[in-house]
Amino acid sequence: MDHLNAALSYRSDLVSLWADYRDLKAGDDWHEKILESLDNANVFLVLMSVNFINSPYCRSQELSRILLKGSKEGALVIGVLVGVVDLEGFKWEYDDGSTLDLKKLNCLPQTSIKVAGEDKPNFGLKAIELWPSNLRNTAWNTVVLAVTKAMPGSPSAAQPREMKPSSRVALSLPYLIDRQGQCSRLNVGLRSWAGRRYKKPLVVLSDGRHADCLDKWVERLALFHFREALGISEDEISFGHHHFLALPSNVHDGGTIDLARQYFEGLLPSLVGLRGIAAFDEVVRIHRKNKRPLLIWIECTSPSTKELLENSIEGLVSLLAAWGGLGEQNMLIVMLNLVRSDHSSASEVHPSHDLTASILNRSQSQDKICFVDVGVMSEIDKAMISGWSVAHAKDMLCDDIDVLVDELPGETETWPMKAFAQCAKNWLVGHA
């Protein structure tokens, strides 16, 4: 449970976590609190264990409600097979005679399973306690990756909505605003990386808040900026496919460099289209064979200790330094976003920024990676809005900059990207 807690806590803007063992306090009416949380939740992680299946309360009060919310209200229900149990126990028959069954959903973790009498392993569900002890962290990491991808509001879960082309363009336009300092620093780093013929992984360090729309920053770079800055046409190569990972605060037991590297290795196979466990060398081979660039986006909040952060970054660098066979057809870019609280000021620096940059600079000097620090994400001011309107929205907005600026919230001269984008989208869709 600690693995899931750590992995989901970093997206506090999207997810509010509740777990009975952690959130029930002395003196609480525990039954009422549990029922209240079940009524309010729209995502359920059912840890399928012997303790759960042997508890009449867990089955009759919790499982029955969870399955019903999944079936009738569209809640996301994910089973995690922790121990060896009879899956038949994870279904419930209701008074009207209907039956709902958790095992019919795609439970976790999934991996390759050798079946007697068959030459090739099948892909299926395997209880975490059956994984070799040295691979149980990998099993949990597989769960974490699948859960974060499935979460409503996560980058991987987002689904395109049907809308008029003009409205679709209007919703994307605000994020093309020039972040000035960040783009300039990035271009210097990209030129240096291109000069080395993309033989090393490129790590791009950004520092910001969720209010700065770091996800849209990554998307903008993937869809447009990297190709434009490198002078590569969309026909030649596309950075449009990127993968989201988390660097939670305490996911590695002990937090050593080797464990950090194992954590990342456990997440890599799915990034190149492999299912289940695969050795690092196999991941590298498939990436080279695919002849397709790989863009990995990692978010980091504040690890519990300085040592854990240092070991996590060193573990990541160790992995990247061993990634051979890179070039123009199979570039590797890692976007590492340091995420501060939305309550922090626009110019504030993430407490882990200097240490992270120092490690990555040293790694670049040792010829392990290429590195560029784009710094703290800037807020949006009127001059930037004017430049954006001419470059991207001139047919829709050019004569109405003052009207848009007047609609921005607060008595300030700069605005977080999220506030600007929402106001601009509302304005543009209304005029599309």
* Tens-digit pLDDT profile for residues 322-339: 999 999 888 999 999 998
Candidates 25, 22, 417; CA nearest to 220 is 417
Of the ranges 3-7, 366-370, 415-419, which is most confident?
Answer: 366-370
Four-CA torsion 82, 122, 269, 127, nearest 10 degrees: 10
**Is residue 122's pLDDT more than 50?**
yes
Q: How far is CA 31 from CA 2, 20, 61, in A?
A: 23, 10, 9
pLDDT of residue 216: 84
pLDDT of residue 14: 53
Q: What is the pLDDT of residue 293?
A: 86
CA distance 202 to 213: 22
Domain boundaries, the chain: 2-150, 181-376, 380-431
Mean pLDDT of 104-125: 68
Instruction: Tally the residues of the chain.
Output: 432
CATH of 181-376, one of 3.30.70, 1.10.287, 3.30.1370, 3.40.50: 3.40.50
The DSSP call for residue 108 is B
14-30 average pLDDT score = 76
Q: pTM of the entire structure? A: 0.65
State the average pLDDT over residues 35-40: 87
pLDDT score of 280: 92
Write the DSSP assignment of 125-193 as a string of letters: E--GGGS-GGGHHHHHHHHHHHHHHHSTTSTTT--PPP--HHHHHHHHGGGGS--THHHHHHHHHHHHH
What pLDDT band is residue 10 in, cutting at 50, 70 and 90? very low
- Amino acid of residue 289: K
pLDDT score of 196: 92
